[in-house]
Amino acid sequence: MAQHQAHDSHGAHDAHEAHGSLKSYVIGFILSLVLTAIPLIIVLNDMLEGTAATVVLLGFAILQFVVQLVYFMHLKEEGKPRYNLMVLILGLIIVLTIVAGSIWIMTFNKVA
Amino acid sequence: MANSGNHIIAKPQHHDEHAHEEHHDQEELRFMGFWFFLITDCIMFATLFATYVVLSGSFAGGPTGAELFEMPGVIAETFILLTSSFTSGLAVLAMNKGDRKGLIGWLIVTVLLGATFLTLEISEFVTLVHEGATISTSAFWSSFYTLVGTHGLHVSIGLVWMIAIMIQLGRHGINSVTRRKVKVVSLYWHFLDVVWIFVFTIVYMLEVI
Amino acid sequence: MWDKIKDFSSEFFVTGDPLIYGADVSIVLTLVAVVTALTYFKKWTWLWKDWLTTVDHKKIGIMYVIASLLMLFRGGVDALLMRTQLAVPELDFLTPEHYNQIFTTHGVIMILFMAMPLMFGLFNLVVPLHIGARDVAFPFLNSLSFWLFFSGAMLFNMSFVIGGSPDAGWLAYPPLSELSHSPGVGQDFYIWGIQISGIGSLMTGINFIVTILKMRAPGMKLMKMPMFVWSVLSSCLTIILAFPILTITLALLFLDRYLGAHFFTLDGGGNPMMYINLIWMWGHPEVYIVVLPAFGIFSEIAATFSKKRLFGYKSMVFALMSISLMSFFTWAHHFFTMGSGANVNAFFALTTMIIAIPTGVKVFNWLFTMFRGRLSFPTPMMWMIAFIPCFVVGGMTGVLLSVAPADFQFHNSYFLIAHFHQVLIGGVAFGFFAGLYYWWPKVFGFKLNEKLGKWAFWTWNIGFYVCFMPQYVLGLMGMTRRVSTYGWDRGFYELNLTSTIGGFLMGIGFLFQVWQILHSIKFMKKDTTGDPWDGRTLEWSIPSPAPVYNFAILPRVDEADAWWEEKQRIAQGHAPKPKPKLEPIHMPKNSGIPIVMSGFFFLVGFGFVFDWLWLAIPGLIGVAASMLVHSFRYKTDYYISVEEIRRTEAAAGRTV
């Protein structure tokens, strides 16, 4: 159970271990704080409404997701082949399908 | 005790160089497996979000979210969880430097922040119930409690888990196994923060806007 | 006191039906017999040490296969009961209520407790050997997956004698499955049985993805993997993306029933349509989850018995992977009649038609693999050949159903029943049978009797067509599914009777298979070569049954069909590859935690079914405690010494 491709996994490995520096965590934290604060200001001051608000707020949430993926979860530092990234993308496609598909199908079947 | 970039077993037993390698690889597999588990968890939350969005207008004559949500508490929860995500990252940094005290210290901070988040969430739920919004009030409230509650359940599990890991760190120090466990729990914690960002945006902000 | 007990047991146990009393008696007798035999032959320690706590993928695979064959028997008996009831108009063999329960349990058992575990059994038996690995990535988790499946299946099956079976159809559509319409405990058995085994399925999916991505023998690039491994990868990816949806959907239904939530209820703003939408987001990928590995099995068999490389390897990989992704975009074709508007229906009709294309590509690949091959026709190959026309017809009727306007006619008719049985029996069941026949000698060290196998094959196949072809016609004549009887005046009689005869023929086919297995065990001829079919892939390079560590020396792979190429080289007079020095092998220790933890899960499920918190809460605590105990265990591995490897290999007649 313990065999593996020793050769190709090892080189990628050291980079993998060393991941994350204080700088990247601090940058990530500050960016997250900013990306949380802006939509809050928008909401609390009623600066946007309707579809525009939905799009902008979701946009900020997605941006923050990307920030955390890069700075906290170190997705960029995965060794090749990037299976984790591939499966993540696949997962996100399905996430989008579930949410958007349900909304689309169920618009025709609304119950008050 | 251990340097970053090297997998040193804190309490050297009768393992030779070869065993190191194998343990190490096994830990890498586990990290990958956990990553895939998080993706399945993503899908679970996606299903809950889809249900919430589809049922979000179904108040059945009961109170609406905009009427009952108390934003200050929720905003506090958001920043607390965000900070705890940061501190769990600092724990990993301390671990990479081989600093066991720092590691456990940051984990304790993370657990305390997580517990505060949970306390705020529970008191929010209690207030909502007192104001007449229970899980059986309407489809909206059913999906609200289920979505937010599932996240809260994840946070609670994370807390127990972190405490268990701290005990193991106390016993075994930083070795390839505990190192992987800390990395995994920190990844889990970041993930919960990301989910909360979407809960905060979709459930709270888009409802009160 | 006595009256209280009597009251309780008359509610707790299912009463009133002679069939059920018969089942009660046989269950008790079997249990007593098993316990007595184990005690008499002093086999308890053996059972616990060698099987119940094992983390060896080969043994777990065997347990999966045994459990799924038992489930096949139960599901098959359900099917025959239904066919008996429908053989003649206005028959009183089963009451409508009983009929509802039987079609529900038949569907659930066949898909979730027969097809899925049989598939997982084959994954376990074959994948590590196929890729030259010593076990799966997470052997402990693998054992846990099995035991969770097992306790889920037992919980579900228990509803037959305790509390009452679910009766709202295999997908339990609300509002019928809600408390308002199904106040009994049957529906809760359904939810918890599936939920517990579903966690196991999810973990198996993760386990095999990591195994395939990370544990391949040195040199085995992704594009050099056997096709079955590709099919497992695509199936497992689909599992990890689809099963979470099922988990949540059933959890929401449970909250409706248990806490009075309003997700899918008729009041309080709930929307039953949302359940149907969600459950099919899992349900459609689910059928691809079970059929993709069957495609992989057929690919292996076609290549082996044609003595040719698989035709169009790359297109096959592409087809498998694209099906696994596209299976997520067709779900609404299961409810065209829900009224989601023309655009939704048009979109899902198109995606459904498109997904037929990669499936068609595969059929051509198999045909061209056989074309000009040196063909032989032992039983695995026969099932493979029978599958092609069967699946083509099943697929084509699927395309007919995908035409949304036409579907308004076909929907919920026997046409649909015939269609999905044709793809599920013709595709999945034939595929897994073929796989079992093919890999049986690797697992047990002897081939199954060919003559009885052929009898089984022909009875199954003739039975299949006799049973399901009339159902297409019945559907077009207007017979709807899930009716427990029909009048003499409908003109359904002759075709239904024919169909019932076909059903019983398939039952006889199953009996032939049982006989075949028993006969082969008794008169087995030990296979000493380890390669009885002249195979192409790595599993045939080691002794049968495989030693506990699988490969004494990890193979080096330079091309696809590595074992076949190696044999060719040796036949041409080249020296075999030099073998590196033996090293101690690192193996995982057995663990009792999986079975104990699954036992606690069972208590949780049972407690919630009957709303007994005094049972459910200790169960939950037990689950958490088992996890923690496992987390705190650090010495979970051991080494097999070089001496022991030498001894094992020598016993199998090999030198290393």
Q: Report d(CA B71, CA B75) in Å as an integer.
A: 6
pLDDT digits (tens, 9 = 90+) for B84-107: 999 999 999 999 999 999 999 999
Say yes or no: B11 contacts chain C, CB-CB below 8 A: no
Q: Report d(CA B158, CA B136) in Å as an integer.
A: 28
Instruction: Say if the Cβ atoms of B54 and A106 lie within 8 Å.
Output: yes
Say yes or no: B1 contacts chain C, CB-CB below 8 A: no
Q: Would you state the pLDDT for residue B8?
A: 33
Q: Is the pLDDT of residue A13 over 50?
A: no
B66 exposure class (CB count in 10 Å sphere: 0-12, 13-18, 19+): exposed
**Which token pair is C309?**
């490389």
- What's the mean per-residue pLDDT of chain C? 93
Q: Distance, in angstroms, between A82 CA and closest chain B CA?
A: 11
Q: Distance, in angstroms, between B155 CA and closest chain C CA?
A: 15
Q: What is the pLDDT confidence band of residue B21, given thresholds at 50, 70 and 90?
A: low
**Which token pair is A2?**
């313990």
Instruction: Say if the Cβ atoms of B54 and A84 lie within 8 Å.
Output: no
pLDDT digits (tens, 9 = 90+) for C231-279: 999 999 999 999 999 999 999 999 999 999 999 999 999 999 999 999 9
Instruction: Compute CA distances A62 → A24, B198, C70, C596, whole Å.
Output: 19, 8, 49, 42
Q: Which of B169, B191, B207 is nearest to B40 (CA)?
A: B191
In total, the C-beta contacts within 8 angstroms joining chain B to chain C are 116
Q: What is the pLDDT confidence band of residue A79, given thresholds at 50, 70 and 90?
A: confident
Which of A3, A87, A104 minimises the CB distance to C133?
Answer: A3
Say yes or no: B32 contacts chain A, CB-CB below 8 A: yes
Q: How many CB atoms lie within 10 A of CB B26?
A: 22
Q: Distance, in angstroms, between B126 CA and closest chain A CA?
A: 24
Domains defined along chain B, listed by start: 70-208 (1.20.120.80)
Which of C134, C249, C262, C633 to mutate to probe the B interface, most B CBs <10 Å? C262
Q: Would you state the pLDDT for residue B24?
A: 59
- Which run of H or of E encompasses C585? strand C585-588
Which of A6, A97, A109 minimises the CB distance to C273?
Answer: A109
Look at the alpha carbons of C224, C225, C228, C234 in this order and tell me if their dihedral is positive or negative.
negative
Average pLDDT over residues C190-206: 96
Q: What is the pLDDT confidence band of residue A47, given thresholds at 50, 70 and 90?
A: confident
ipTM: 0.94
Which of C215, C247, C269 minimises the CB distance to B44?
Answer: C247
Q: Distance, in angstroms, between B140 CA and closest chain C CA?
A: 8
Average pLDDT over residues B159-178: 93
Closest chain B residue to A100, measured at CA: B50
Q: Is the pLDDT of residue B4 over 70?
A: no
pLDDT digits (tens, 9 = 90+) for C32-46: 998 999 899 888 999
Say yes or no: B101 contacts chain C, CB-CB below 8 A: no
C619, C604 Cβ separation under 8 angstroms = yes
Task: Say which residue the tokens 């579903």 belong to.
Answer: C198
Q: Is the pLDDT of residue B9 over 60?
A: no
Q: Would you state the pLDDT for residue A75?
A: 81
CA trace torsion A27, A32, A35, A37 (10° rounding): -110
Q: Distance, in angstroms, between C189 CA and closest chain B CA?
A: 22
Average pLDDT over residues C480-502: 95
C292, C231 Cβ separation under 8 angstroms = yes
Contact list, B64 vs chain A (CB under 8 Å): none
Share of chain A above pLDDT 90, in %: 52
Average pLDDT over residues C40-53: 91
Instruction: Say if the Cβ atoms of A72 and B190 lie within 8 Å.
Output: yes
Q: Would you state the pLDDT for residue B14?
A: 40
Average pLDDT over residues B10-16: 38
Instruction: Say if the Cβ atoms of C328 and A87 lie within 8 Å.
Output: no
C109, C70 Cβ separation under 8 angstroms = no
Q: Is the pLDDT of residue A3 over 70?
A: no
Instruction: Say if the Cβ atoms of B96 and A58 lie within 8 Å.
Output: no
